[in-house]
Amino acid sequence: MEIEVVEGDITQQDVDAVVNAANRRMRGGGGVDGAIHAAGGPEILADCVRRFPQGLATGDAGWTTAGLMPARWVIHVVGPNRNAGETDRSLLTSCYRRALEVADGLGARSIAFPLVSAGVYGWPKEDAVDAALETLRATPTSVELARMVAFGRPAYELIAARLG
């Protein structure tokens, strides 16, 4: 699998699936979650309610329609909330591994990721990048392209440097 980084907005990515940094309730929120629901329209929330009546566990992933976005699917993951004491790193790497498993189940060949937990949930950005890259490199998958979408220039420089 090729891993690349672009600077931009994940809602605009022309890939099979975009990953959302959601929360356990799976009913929308701020940050990238808010941007994805706004860009995709109300079908995403309707699908979340239908498919995830009990929400989703931390570290897990599940898909919905991408609504009006160019992508076909949103793969929602729930990263650990470090600001609420969820410091177990395996909950973060699990998000990337489970997202690829869900992508394989859908037959997705290209997938775009935000930096899960690196915003409101307070995971240190350097380690959020390393957790993403090491898990994407280590997980067997039929996905051919994983695109890290950096929101702003500093995030781009950080990911590009660690991608090597």
Nearest to residue 64, comparing CAs of 78, 79, 76, 54? 76
E strands along the chain, which residues? 2-7, 17-22, 61-65, 73-78, 110-113, 145-150
Q: Is 151 in the site for ligand AR6 (CB under 6 A)?
A: yes
Of the candidate spans 17-25, 49-57, 65-73, 134-142, the one that interacts with ligand AR6 by CB under 6 A turns out to be 17-25
Q: Is 3 in the site for ligand AR6 (CB under 6 A)?
A: no
Q: Is 35 in the site for ligand AR6 (CB under 6 A)?
A: yes
Site for ligand AR6 (CB under 6 A): which residue of 4, 30, 107, 124? 30
Cα(21)–Cα(44) distance, integer angstroms = 14
Q: Is 106 in the site for ligand AR6 (CB under 6 A)?
A: no
Active site residue 104: no
Q: Is 129 in the site for ligand AR6 (CB under 6 A)?
A: no
Q: Is 41 in the site for ligand AR6 (CB under 6 A)?
A: no
Instruction: Give ∠ CA 128-131-133 in degrees, rounded to 5.
Output: 105
Nearest to residue 40, comparing CAs of 22, 56, 55? 22
Q: What residue type is 164 in one-letter code?
A: G
Q: What residue type is 7 in one-letter code?
A: E
Min dist. Cβ of residue 33 to ligand AR6 (A): 4
Q: Are 131 and 89 in contact (CB under 8 A)?
A: yes
Site for ligand AR6 (CB under 6 A): which residue of 9, 101, 104, 127? 9
Min dist. Cβ of residue 140 to ligand AR6 (A): 25
Interface residue list for ligand AR6 (CB under 6 A): 9-11, 21-23, 29-33, 35, 79, 114-121, 149, 151, 155
